[in-house]
């Protein structure tokens, strides 16, 4: 995965993260293929403020995966609706 240092992270728009918490904290960058893959792997390890927030992040990750041509296994955690 490409290194994302603090300076490069600050250049990303909030829309380039799967989840932005109510304090403005940005989680799970999805701006390129390697970060989308990482977000897919870490989605179920991330603490979300609500089930709805987790579901919105899941949808953003799945959409980013499609955009980057990443196939998602149907048994992958991120492929299933949040519980």
Predicted structure pTM score: 0.89
Q: What is the pLDDT of residues 23-33, one digit of tens each?
A: 999 999 999 99
Look at residue 81 in the predicted model and tell me its pLDDT.
78
55-58 long-range CB contacts below 8 Å, 24 or more apart?
55/81, 55/82, 56/19, 57/18, 57/19, 57/27, 57/28, 58/18, 58/82
DSSP state, 11? Answer: H
DSSP character at residue 25: -
pLDDT in tens, 35-80: 999 999 999 999 999 999 999 999 999 999 999 999 998 888 888 7
């Amino acid at each position: 995965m490409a290194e994302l240092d603090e300076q490069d992270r600050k250049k990303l728009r909030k829309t380039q993260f799967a989840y932005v918490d109510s304090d403005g904290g940005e989680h799970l960058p999805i701006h390129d293929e390697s970060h989308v893959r990482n977000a897919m792997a870490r989605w179920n390890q991330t603490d979300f403020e609500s089930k709805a927030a987790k579901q919105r992040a899941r949808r953003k990750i799945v959409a980013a995966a499609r955009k980057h041509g990443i196939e998602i296994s149907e048994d992958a955690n991120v492929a299933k609706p949040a519980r």
